[in-house]
Amino acid sequence: MKNKKTEAAPATTETALTNKVSKWQKLGKQKMLILMSVPFVLYVILFRYIPLWGWTMAFQSYKPNVKFSDQAWVGFKWFKELFKSYNASTDEYIWNLEFLRSLRNTVGMSLISTALGYITAIVLAVFLNEVRVIGIKRFVQTVSYLPHFLSWVIVTGLVANVLSVEGGTLNNILQGLHLIKKPIQWLSTPKYFWHIIGWTYVWKEVGWNTIVYLGAMTAIDPCLYEAAQIDGCGRLRKIWHITLPGIKPTIVIMLIMSAGHILDANFEMPFFLKNGLIQDVANTIDIYVLKFGFNLFNFSLATAAGMFKNAVNIILLLFANWLAKRSGEERLI
């Protein structure tokens, strides 16, 4: 027995060395792929990590013409200012309603866009998966994908023209069908604005978002559909018991990823479509950062608002991942 153990040890060591060598050999064989990834790694470092140095402004009373070593450090003063600001006339701290409204608007628009985007993307993916006529399927895919390649500036221009009071396409159609007597001021009525943002996002991105779900559906074993057909299941039962459970892990992963973007409501649409009548429901955190950073030159407060947004997104992402883990679903980490 002792001889067998002593003979097994060198073999184990030799196997470990072989595995190490094979890993380095694999890296050597993939050197072209590694070289191709270098520009992307440098891009991430240059534009994602190095700018994090600017976050120090959130803890300073930053002045552009003062050296970094001479900046006054104020701790978490600007983070407190986001929620309560000092009123010199009353000598007390009052709620910063402008930032709180921006936070509310960002969350509201983001949740509406996320909910509508997920539901419509899954429905369209299931519909395309069930279409057997290739020509119709390709036509619908092409038409639904095209808006994704339009910039948000162009999209906002289209939305403004379609929803305009005078000559707007939507008002003309509704009046032609005698559903309304006079044009509706869509872009001047606060209660419509969040829904306009949500449905515009759906129109632009629904076709692109279906790509992930269609890819997940291709991994479902066709034998399951054949067995269901033999058992007498119709299309709706196949969708409910095979297709949706088959793409459930993908749906969960996409939901976890979207949780990390709750405070990343689209910037361009609210910025270009807002006006004085609806600014209380149109201003987002990004617009708040733009106002205080570039218009009022309060870089410290703007940086604090941006850091707050990113911190909340990270916390929500980790919480969604933990919740998925506790529920026994797929997770990112």
For 5-15, write each residue's pLDDT tens digit: 444 445 555 55
Q: How confident is the model over 268-290, as a mean pLDDT?
A: 92
Supply the pLDDT for residue 42.
95
For 209-248, write each residue's pLDDT tens digit: 999 999 999 999 999 999 999 988 998 999 999 999 999 9
pLDDT at 331 exceeding the cut of 90? no
Residue 12: CB atoms within 10 A of its CB come to 9
* Contact yes or no for 274/282 (Cβ under 8 A): yes
pLDDT at 303 exceeding the cut of 80? yes
Supply the pLDDT for residue 2.
46
Supply the pLDDT for residue 332.
80
- Element spanning 43, H or E: helix 31-44
Residue 171: CB atoms within 10 A of its CB come to 20
* Contact yes or no for 325/331 (Cβ under 8 A): yes
pLDDT at 56 exceeding the cut of 60? yes
Supply the pLDDT for residue 313.
94
Contacting residues for 144 by C-beta, under 8 A, at least 6 apart: 124, 206, 207, 210
Q: Return the DSSP state at 53.
A: G
d(C-alpha 161, C-alpha 169), whole Å: 7
pLDDT at 1 exceeding the cut of 80? no
Supply the pLDDT for residue 14.
54
Closest CA to 219 of 141, 135, 145, 129: 129
Supply the pLDDT for residue 5.
46
Least confident of 33-42, 80-89, 197-206: 80-89
- Written as six digits, the tokens of 241 are 């018991």
- Element spanning 93, H or E: strand 92-95
For 102-144, write each residue's pLDDT tens digit: 999 999 999 999 999 999 999 999 999 999 888 999 999 999 9
